[in-house]
Structure 1
Amino acid sequence: MSDPFGLQRPLVVAHRGACGYRPEHTLAGYQLAVDLGADYLATDLQLTRDGVLVARHDAELSASTDVAERPEFAHRRRRGLVDGRELTGWFVDDFTLDEVRSLYARERIPELRPANQAYDGRLRVPTFDEIITLAVEGGRRRGRPVGLCPELKHPTYYAERGLSAEDALMAALLGFRLERAGVPVLVQCYEPSVLRRLAARTSVPLAQLVDSTGRPFDWERAGDGRRFVDLLTPTGLREVASYATVLGAHRSLVVPRDPEGRLGHPGRLVSDAHDLGMAVHAWTFRNENSFLPADRRRGREAAGHGDALGEYRVFFGAGVDGVVTDHPDTAVRAMDQAFGSRSRRSLLSDASSPARPIETSSTGMATSRPDKPSTS
Structure 2
Amino acid sequence: MTAPITRHLSRRGFIAAAAGTAGALLLPRAQAAEARAKPLVFAHRGASALRPEHTLAAYSKAIADGADYIEPDLVCTRDGVLVARHEADLTETTDVAKRPEFASRRTRKTFDGETHTGWFVDDFTLAELKTLRAVERIPQSRPGSAQYDGMFQLLTFEEVIDFVAAQSATTGRLIGLVPELKSSTYFAAAKLALEDRFIATLAAHEYTRRAPVEIQSFEVANLRYLRDKLGRRANLRLMQLVGVGAMQPSDVVAVRGKLTYAEMATPRGLRDVASYADTFAPPTRALIPLKKDGSLDAPTALAADVHAAGLRLETWTFRPENRFLAADFRDGAGEHARNEAGSVAEMRRYLQLGLDGLFTDDPALGRKAVDG
TM-score, normalized by length of structure 1?
0.87
Cα contact 2:66–2:367 (8 A) shared by 1 = yes
Quick check: 1:195 aligned with 2:223? yes
The code of the aligned residue for 1:193 comes to A
The structure 1 residue matched to 2:240, chosen from 184, 208, 212, is 208
Mark the CA change 1:145 to 1:173 in structure 2 (over 3 Å): closer, same or farther: same
Which residue does 1:2 correspond to in 2? 10
Which residue does 1:97 correspond to in 2? 126
Q: CA deviation at 1:276?
A: 2.0
Partner SS, residue 117 of structure 2: strand
Which residue does 2:212 correspond to in 1? 184
Q: CA deviation at 1:241?
A: 0.3
Q: Distance in 2 between matches of 1:273 and 1:142?
A: 34
The code of the aligned residue for 2:337 comes to G
Deviates more, 1:153-162 or 1:72-81: 72-81
Equivalenced residues, count? 336
The code of the aligned residue for 1:149 comes to V
Cα contact 1:298–1:305 (8 A) shared by 2 = no
Q: Distance in 2 between matches of 1:161 and 1:315?
A: 39
Q: Distance in 2 between matches of 1:47 and 1:40?
A: 22
Quick check: 1:65 aligned with 2:94? yes
Deviates more, 1:101-110 or 1:218-227: 218-227
Which residue does 1:166 correspond to in 2? 195
Q: CA deviation at 1:2?
A: 2.6
Cα contact 1:11–1:321 (8 A) shared by 2 = yes
Q: Distance in 2 between matches of 1:2 and 1:305?
A: 35
Q: CA deviation at 1:85?
A: 2.0
Partner SS, residue 205 of structure 1: strand
Quick check: 1:17 aligned with 2:46? yes
Quick check: 1:282 aligned with 2:315? yes
- Give deviations 1:243-281, integer Å, cap 9, x for gaps: 000111101111111221111222222221112221111
Which residue does 1:292 correspond to in 2? 325
- Give deviations 1:289-335, integer Å, cap 9, x for gaps: 01000111011411212311111111111101001000000011111
- Give deviations 1:140-173, integer Å, cap 9, x for gaps: 2221211000000000000001011001110110
Q: CA deviation at 1:212?
A: 2.0
The code of the aligned residue for 2:281 comes to G
**CA RMSD in angstroms, aligned pairs only:** 1.2
Cα contact 1:297–1:305 (8 A) shared by 2 = no
Q: Distance in 1 between matches of 2:299 and 2:320?
A: 21
The code of the aligned residue for 1:311 comes to E
Cα contact 2:161–2:208 (8 A) shared by 1 = no
Quick check: 1:31 aligned with 2:60? yes
Which residue does 2:5 correspond to in 1? none
Q: CA deviation at 1:114?
A: 0.8
Quick check: 1:327 aligned with 2:362? yes
The code of the aligned residue for 1:2 comes to S
Which segments of 5 or more consecutive residues in structure 2 lack a partner in the other structure? 1-8, 16-31
Quick check: 1:139 aligned with 2:174? no
Partner SS, residue 191 of structure 1: coil
Which residue does 1:245 correspond to in 2? 278
The structure 2 residue matched to 1:155, chosen from 167, 175, 184, is 184
Which residue does 1:352 correspond to in 2? none
Cα contact 2:49–2:361 (8 A) shared by 1 = yes
Q: Distance in 2 between matches of 1:308 and 1:300?
A: 14
Q: Distance in 2 between matches of 1:144 and 1:185?
A: 15
Partner SS, residue 186 of structure 1: strand
Cα contact 1:20–1:326 (8 A) shared by 2 = yes
Q: CA deviation at 1:226?
A: 2.3
Q: Distance in 1 between matches of 2:106 and 2:329?
A: 41
Cα contact 1:212–1:252 (8 A) shared by 2 = no
TM-score, normalized by length of structure 2?
0.88
Which residue does 2:28 correspond to in 1? none
Cα contact 2:267–2:309 (8 A) shared by 1 = no
The structure 1 residue matched to 2:71, chosen from 26, 42, 60, is 42
- Give deviations 1:14-34, integer Å, cap 9, x for gaps: 000001100011011001101
Identity level (%): 43
